[in-house]
Amino acid sequence: MYYPTIDLSSNYSRNFFNIVQVGAGGNGGYLVQRLSKLLYALSEKDKNLEFSYKIIDGDIVEPKNLQRQPFISQDLDQPKAKVLAERYSNAYQIPIFYKDEYINSPDNLHELFNIEYSFGSPIQILIGCVDNNASRQIMHKYFESSNTIIYLDSGIDSVDPEASKESGYSGQVVCGYRRSSKTILAPVGGVYENILTDKDSRLPMEACGQQVVNYPQRMQTNEMAALIMNGYLNTILADHEIVSHYTNFNARNNIVSPTYLTKDMVS
C-alpha cells in the first residue's frame, strides 16, 4: 500500500545534520547506542555525510539506573551524558559531544544548535528523551520559534505498582516538522495537548527539595521506544524522508501502530 512521504532533500544543498538529544536516561541511553552506530554506518557509506551530535542531560548514574538503563557499575556517580558520549565516540570513532546540564529555556537549545557552517543550512534535528512535560514545553517553544526543524519526541508510561502487571508497557514517538516557519507536522505538544497545559510538571533542577513520586520504567519499553525513534532517524538520515507522523506502541504485546502521512500533509 502506498503512503505519501515528505521529501527533505529538496530543501538542503548538502548532507549536514545538526542533532541535539535532550535526555540520556532510559530510552535516551538506548537511543545513543543505536544512533551512534547508525551515524557511523552512514558516514562510512557516504563520505559526503556530515553531522554534529550533542547529548545534554544533568543526571548522574545512580544504583537504581543499573537495572533498566544502559549503564554498568563503573559508571556510578558520573554524568550520564558524559558516559554515553565517550563510550560510543570511542567505540565507533565518531565525534559525540555532551553537556552535563539540564535545559531550562529555549536559549539553551539555541546555543547547542548554533554552528557556523559555510555550505548552506544544516538540517536541525531535536530529539526529546525526557520524562517530564516541563522540558517538553521548552522544546515546543524552541520548535515554534525555529524556521526549519525536525523534532522527535518519545514518551513512555511508568510502572504503577498499584495497577496491573500490564502497566508501563505503552508509549509513543512523535515526529514534528517545521519548514520555512510553517508547521507541517505538529510536534508532540500539538498531538497530545495536555503536555502544554500541564502546570504541575517541574524541570529536574526545580524538583529538588520536593517530594517526587518516582515510578520506574520498564527496560523493554525503553528499548522499544529507542528502536522506533531510530527507525524514524534512519529514514531521515539515509533516505531524507519522513514516512509517518507518530507511532503508538505496546512493548508487552509487541504492537506497533504508526499514523502515516496524508496527502494534505505533504502538499
Banded model confidence at residue 210, pLDDT cuts 50, 70, 90: very low
Amino acid 2: pLDDT:
78
User: What is the assigned CATH class of domain 6-266?
Assistant: alpha beta
Each residue's pLDDT tens digit, 121-164 = 789 999 999 999 999 999 999 999 999 999 999 999 887 777 77
Mean pLDDT for 164-178 is 91
Identify the pLDDT of residue 140.
98
Question: In angstroms, rounded to a whole number, what is the distance separating the alpha carbons of residues 240 and 105?
Answer: 29
Give the span between the Cα atoms of 224 and 245, in whole angstroms.
17
262 with 4: CB under 8 angstroms? yes
What are the start-end ranges of the E strands in the chain?
Answer: 6-7, 16-22, 50-56, 97-99, 123-128, 149-156, 170-179, 182-185, 241-242, 244-250, 255-260
Question: Which pLDDT band, with edges at 50, 70 and 90, does 168 fall under?
Answer: confident
pLDDT digits (tens, 9 = 90+) for 2-44: 789 999 987 665 678 999 999 999 999 999 999 999 999 999 9
CA gap 153, 139 in Å, rounded: 10
pLDDT band for 72, please (50, 70, 90 cuts). Answer: very high
* Helix-strand-coil split of the chain, %, nearest 5: 35, 25, 40
Report domain extents, the chain. Answer: 6-266
Beta pairing class for 241-242 and 6-7: antiparallel
Residues pairing with 53 in the sheet: 19
The Cα–Cα gap between 40 and 237 comes to 12
Q: Which helix or strand (DSSP H or E) is residue 36 part of?
A: helix 26-45
Pairing type for strands 170-179 and 182-185 reads antiparallel
Report which DSSP code applies to 10: G
Look at residue 248 in the predicted model and tell me its pLDDT: 98
Cell 501502530 -> residue:
257
